[in-house]
């Protein structure tokens, strides 16, 4: 599995018209015997605002933040900015992207990509000319 | 701890304060870069309004039950833990960018807070703590009477 365009996800995308920045989410990836698990931190993104797409073995996760400034307040000290998130990964042949399971809890998105059953070896019979 | 600006209020413009505000705005613009160098967990934002202060913090992956919020006089303390995934055999990590462990941060507030009135909310990994300013502490307008 390799990563695509993580350094600058905006490169392959049209620029967004939203005022919040677009970030690459912090991600853990580990592999168990039967699946590949991705844990992505998407603080402020509701489960309904996460979009997961697989195109040509490229898995793209996009999350739109729904965090809002407290009404009637001004920001006096800032250590983070609310952001939209996007990151793309290229999946290897060892996994089956058609059966991805996604669960969001407490600002962390968990993607489970099951491993594909190994293709049985094929024998090709040679015909006599 | 980090509350250095005066209470943003109404009234006349103090040039020094205005410069401080502009400096802060510049910091916001380029700030994300600078912030990356001295990142503390969790990153917090502090908001000031007429009725008090709101503290928001990004704590993705922390269960609300593992968060401990305490208020003592004019300090707010946030403690918690982020548990790593339970170790399992046959697990190979390809990428490990998230951090785990316990954290604690204390913030000095510009006023004493009534702990009874503090409320906290947790949405999608963002903690919002509302700290209302006590009535007696609110700025009051004093009428000038004619002699």
In chain A, domain spans:
2-107
User: Could you report the per-residue pLDDT of B77-115, keeping only the tens digit for each?
Assistant: 999 999 887 777 788 899 888 988 999 999 998 888 888
What's the whole-number mean pLDDT along residues A90-100? 91
Where is average pLDDT lowest: A110-124, B35-49, B71-85? Answer: B35-49
What pLDDT does A62 receive?
95
| Domains identified in chain B, total number | 1
E strand intervals along chain A: 2-4, 22-23, 27-31, 35-41, 45-55, 58-65, 73-78, 84-90, 101-105, 108-114
CA nearest to B139, candidates B119, B111, B115: B111
> Do residue B124 and residue A30 have CB atoms under 8 angstroms apart?
no
pLDDT of B143 above 70 = yes
Q: Which helix (H) or strand (E) holds B130?
A: strand B126-132
**C-alpha torsion sign, points B41, B99, A3, A47:** negative
pLDDT of B71 above 80 = yes
What pLDDT does A109 receive?
96
Query: Which has more pLDDT, A13 or A116?
Result: A116
Give domain status of residue B27, yes or no: no
> Do residue B60 and residue A29 have CB atoms under 8 angstroms apart?
no
Interface test with A, best of B20, B23, B44, B56 (most A CBs within 10 A): B56
Question: What pTM was computed for the model?
Answer: 0.74
Task: Measure CB to CB from residue A76 to each of B8, B32, B94 and give the nearest one.
Answer: B8
> Do residue B61 and residue A106 have CB atoms under 8 angstroms apart?
yes
What pLDDT does B29 receive?
65
Give domain status of residue B51, yes or no: yes
Query: Which has more pLDDT, A7 or B146?
Result: B146
CATH number where B69 lies: 2.60.40.790
pLDDT of A68 above 50 = yes
Identify the domain containing residue B64 by its residue range.
Answer: 41-84+99-135
pLDDT band for position B12 (cuts 50, 70, 90): low
What's the whole-number mean pLDDT along residues B25-32? 64
What pLDDT does B31 receive?
56
What's the whole-number mean pLDDT along residues A84-101? 92
Task: Measure CB to CB from residue B92 to each of A30, A75, A106 and give the nearest one.
Answer: A30
Give domain status of residue B61, yes or no: yes
Which residues of A are less than 8 Å from B92 in CB distance? 30-31
Which residues of A are less than 8 Å from B90 in CB distance? 32-33
> Do residue A41 and residue B128 have CB atoms under 8 angstroms apart?
no
Closest residue of B to A64, CA-based?
Answer: B124
What pLDDT does A6 receive?
44
pLDDT of A117 above 90 = no
Distances in Å between the Cα of B57 and the Cα atoms of A34, B42, B82 are 35, 6, 14
Which residues of A are less than 8 Å from B97 in CB distance? 26-28
What's the whole-number mean pLDDT along residues B110-128? 90
The CA-based angle A124-A97-B123, given to 5 degrees, is 170
Give domain status of residue B145, yes or no: no
Helix (H, G, I), strand (E, B) or coil at A49: strand
Q: Which CATH number fits domain A2-107: 1.10.1740.10, 1.10.3720.10, 2.10.109.10, 2.60.40.790?
A: 2.60.40.790
């Amino acid at each position: 599995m390799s990563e695509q365009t993580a350094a600058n996800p905006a490169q392959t995308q049209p620029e967004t018209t939203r005022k919040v920045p677009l970030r690459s989410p912090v991600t853990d990836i580990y592999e168990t015997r039967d699946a590949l698990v991705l844990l992505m931190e998407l603080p402020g993104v509701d489960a309904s605002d996460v979009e997961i797409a697989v195109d040509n073995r490229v898995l793209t996760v996009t999350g739109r933040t729904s965090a809002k400034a407290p009404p009637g307040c001004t920001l006096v000290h800032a250590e983070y900015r609310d952001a939209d998130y996007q990151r793309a990964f290229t999946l290897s042949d060892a996994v089956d992207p058609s059966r991805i399971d996604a669960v969001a809890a407490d600002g962390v998105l968990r993607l489970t990509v099951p491993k594909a059953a190994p293709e049985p070896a094929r024998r090709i019979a040679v015909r006599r000319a | 701890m980090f509350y250095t600006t005066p209470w943003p209020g109404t009234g006349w413009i103090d040039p020094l304060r205005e410069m401080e505000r502009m400096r802060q705005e510049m910091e916001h613009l380029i700030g994300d870069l600078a912030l990356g160098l001295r990142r503390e967990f969790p990153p917090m934002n502090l908001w000031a309004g007429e009725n008090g202060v709101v503290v928001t913090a990004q704590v993705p992956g922390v269960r609300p039950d593992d968060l401990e919020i305490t208020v003592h006089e004019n300090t707010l303390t946030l403690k918690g833990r982020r548990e790593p995934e339970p170790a399992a055999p046959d697990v190979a990590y390809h990428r490990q960018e998230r951090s785990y462990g316990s954290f604690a941060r204390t913030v000095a507030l510009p006023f004493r807070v009534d702990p009874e009135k503090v409320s906290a909310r947790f949405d999608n990994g963002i903690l919002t703590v509302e700290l209302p300013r006590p009535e007696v502490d609110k700025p009051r307008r004093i009428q000038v009477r004619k002699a």
